Amino acid sequence: MGRRYDPERRQRIIDAAIRVVGRHGISGLSHRAAAAEADVPLGSTTYHFRSLDELLVAALRQANEGFATAVRDSGALADPEADVATELARLMGQWLAGDRAGAELEYELYLAALRRPALRPVAAEWCQGVADTLARRTDAVTARAAVALMDGICLQVLLTGAEYDEGYAREVLARVLRG
């Protein structure tokens, strides 16, 4: 019997890796666990991802799309008359109020870059992508400061279980964005 053509297999493995990390953390991810979750042969995971770091990079790239896409696609941020701080605070609130497990997973993969150097360029891409979007409305340094502030606010909410305070976020973002 010949090899079965399965163009979606790589994506199914990435999706499976994200689910495994979501349930068991990064330490629970292995090629075997991803293969079992994706219902594919173990050899498929090692064919598409030679190392676990390669699989984690693909998972981080996909997971990072949530908030970054919301910022990039925000019509209000493209409007020169819109209040950037208000829009960013609203977007953070939407993101944090949505799929909490997904938000936690994004940060778990993002923070894994502390111990896994292969993930650092992907984490940096995410920061740079959001900063580039914001730099259309402010200077590059202020945009990077706003990204760092949003990261801090989101981490505090996720780590402490505190309620997201959109008014606070709007106020501190406005201060940073005013310079």
Pick the CATH number of 9-59 from 3.40.50.10070, 3.40.50.410, 1.10.10.60, 3.30.70.580: 1.10.10.60
Query: Where are the CATH 1.10.10.60 domain residues in the chain?
Result: 9-59
CA 79 – CA 77 distance, rounded (Å): 5
Which has the closest alpha carbon to 108: 97, 119, 98, 118?
A: 119
| pLDDT in 10s for each residue of the chain, 179 residues | 445 677 899 999 999 999 999 899 899 999 999 999 999 999 999 999 999 999 999 988 888 777 778 888 888 788 888 899 999 999 999 989 887 888 888 888 888 889 999 989 988 888 898 899 899 899 999 999 999 999 999 999 999 989 999 999 999 999 999 97
Which has the closest alpha carbon to 83: 127, 129, 126, 138?
A: 138
- Global pTM value: 0.82
Under CATH, to which class is 64-178 assigned? mainly alpha
Residue pair 154/91 in contact (Cβ under 8 Å)? The answer is: no
- Which amino acid, 49? F
Which has the closest alpha carbon to 151: 179, 171, 132, 126?
A: 126
Query: Where are the CATH 1.10.357.10 domain residues in the chain?
Result: 64-178
- The secondary structure of residue 175, as a DSSP letter, is H
